[in-house]
Amino acid sequence: MGLSSKTLDVSFDDQEDFEHEYRTNISNGGIFVATSQILDVRDRVTIELKLRFVRKGLNLKGEVVHVVGEELAATGATPGVAVQFEALPAEIRMVFEPVLAAIAAQPKPAPRQKPKKTAPSPDPDHDDRRAAPRSRARVRARVHCPGCEIIEGRTRNLSITGLLVSIGNASPIDIGEPVRVTITNPETGVEREILGKVARHVKGEGGVIRAIGVQFYVRDAERAEVEQFLRDLRATEHTRHLGGIQGEISELGLANLVQTLGLAAREGTLDVMRGAEEGYMAFEGGCLRAASLGGARGVKALARMLTWTEGRFEFHARVDPSLPPGDLTPLEGALLEAMRLMDESADVDRSNFPPDALLDVDAAARQAGGECSKLEDSVLDLAVTGMNVQRILDIVPETDDEIYLAMWNLSERGLVSIRRA
């Protein structure tokens, strides 16, 4: 069964380093081990923890859940493996409690002077008022409200009291509305429905609502089961993130990241965040499998993301199970097409069509104005519903420059007028 007898040594010479690793990784059911050993996903391993500062050792059995190879070192990644432990997080904490108690009873050494760290980029999902800590989690979630469009989304963060979920092209549900949220654990496939209400909206470019926050309502009779499901889900997501690469887009540039990561890894998911906007790209075998930003999909979404010069990124060397299947497009071809769209969009005058502007349709002029193209009809139909420019750009599948040209033609013919928000 592969390299089932492999042992990986993880040594800690310093108490503070161990306590940090325990809090952030070990207690959540996994660990990332920097190693040059050749291991494959699903290999069984034994992690031999050596706490040199108290002369203690502990062994934990686990399974390799993903591998960061040498080929990704150029992007700042540390070669190694992410291991998920066999024992549940609660069982691990029971094993480590006596060790932590013994460490706490010892005299504290003088604190080390550490270099100051650069403050991280502001996190739009963070809210200090929340009592329950939220962790990043990107799993499939379905939000249903009676009389509303069902939202098939992807979570941004998760806690035992609620979640934040991207809504794509779906219409947002009003704040205060009761909802049912169905969450899927990507590893086990287990689904859980949780009642709640919409607590907030997160707006992106053009004032378009990109995500909704849901506060959970859990019945006392099912509280223990729901909380255990959520803890298991958070532990699964945490283990998936072990060994991932993350940083600032400005450091390497998004085009370089896409090309390097997409071609170096056999498969992977690149998440990008800028303010309230969040998108992703999935790679497989040197191809682009899927891309999404707001309501845009495919190469259109890729072209939009490549214009970003700032923001954050996270890369994990496997395809996120929550992503929908898509057609494989050779990555080099997808990048060339995205660059072409970017060049064409740069020549389009967008000054008369700000993202939050509305297009007022003259019904009489439309009726008497002659035949419109299919694209122009689509723009007119969406404008009548009250959608602003950004929302129209998101929903219509044609390229942004084609949509802007259609809006300009409609304006010149008197079929629409621009109303600033």
Q: pLDDT of 32-57, one tens digit each?
A: 888 888 888 788 999 998 888 888 88
Looking at residue 67, what is its pLDDT? 77
- What confidence category does residue 5 fall into, taking pLDDT thresholds of 50, 70 and 90? low
Indicate if the pLDDT at residue 139 is higher than 50: yes
Look over the chain and give the mean of its residue pLDDT values, rounded to a whole number: 84
Q: How far apart are CA 381 and CA 267, in angstroms?
A: 39
Q: What is the largest CA-CA distance in the chain?
A: 87
Give the list of residues 6+ apart from residue 290 with CB closer than 8 angstroms, or none: 280, 281, 282, 297, 298, 323, 324, 325, 326
- What confidence category does residue 84 fall into, taking pLDDT thresholds of 50, 70 and 90? confident
Q: How far apart are CA 326 and CA 322, in angstroms?
A: 12
Rama region for 294: left / alpha / beta (φ>0; ψ in -120 to 50; rest): left
Looking at residue 404, what is its pLDDT? 92
Cα torsion for 20, 24, 27, 32, to the nearest 10°? Answer: -100
Q: Which long-range contacts (CB under 8 A, 24 or more apart) does 215-222 make?
A: 215/161, 215/162, 216/160, 216/161, 216/162, 216/163, 216/181, 218/194, 219/195
CA 278 centroid distance within chain: 7
Q: And the tokens for 353?
A: 């069509």
Indicate if the pLDDT at residue 355 is higher than 50: yes
Q: How far apart are CA 404 and CA 393, in angstroms?
A: 8
Q: And the tokens for 72?
A: 């990704």
- Collapsed DSSP state (helix, strand, coil) of residue 112: coil
Looking at residue 118, what is its pLDDT? 44
Q: And the tokens for 389?
A: 């420019």
DSSP designation for 313: E
Looking at residue 381, what is its pLDDT? 94
- What confidence category does residue 174 fall into, taking pLDDT thresholds of 50, 70 and 90? very high
Indicate if the pLDDT at residue 221 is higher than 60: yes
- Collapsed DSSP state (helix, strand, coil) of residue 159: coil
Most confidently predicted of 34-43, 102-111, 358-367: 358-367
DSSP designation for 29: T
Q: What percent of the chain has pLDDT over 70?
A: 88
For the segment 370-399, what is each residue's pLDDT rounded down to a tens digit? 788 999 999 999 999 989 999 899 889 888
Indicate if the pLDDT at residue 3 is higher than 60: no
CA nearest to 68, candidates 240, 228, 229, 189: 240
- Collapsed DSSP state (helix, strand, coil) of residue 68: strand
Does residue 262 or residue 124 have the better pLDDT?
A: 262
Indicate if the pLDDT at residue 133 is higher than 90: no
Report the residue count for the chain.
421
Q: And the tokens for 31?
A: 């660990």
Q: How far apart are CA 264 and CA 113, in angstroms?
A: 38
Does residue 382 or residue 110 have the better pLDDT?
A: 382
Indicate if the pLDDT at residue 251 is higher than 80: yes
Indicate if the pLDDT at residue 192 is higher than 90: yes
N-terminal to C-terminal alpha carbon distance within the chain: 63
For the segment 288-347, what is each residue's pLDDT rounded down to a tens digit? 999 999 888 899 999 999 999 999 998 887 787 666 666 789 999 999 999 988 887 776
Q: How far apart are CA 273 and CA 279, in angstroms?
A: 7
Indicate if the pLDDT at residue 73 is higher than 60: yes
CA nearest to 214, candidates 275, 141, 268: 141
Looking at residue 144, what is its pLDDT? 94
In this structure, of 15-24, 141-150, 167-176, 381-390, the range with the lowest mean pLDDT score is 15-24
Indicate if the pLDDT at residue 120 is higher than 60: no
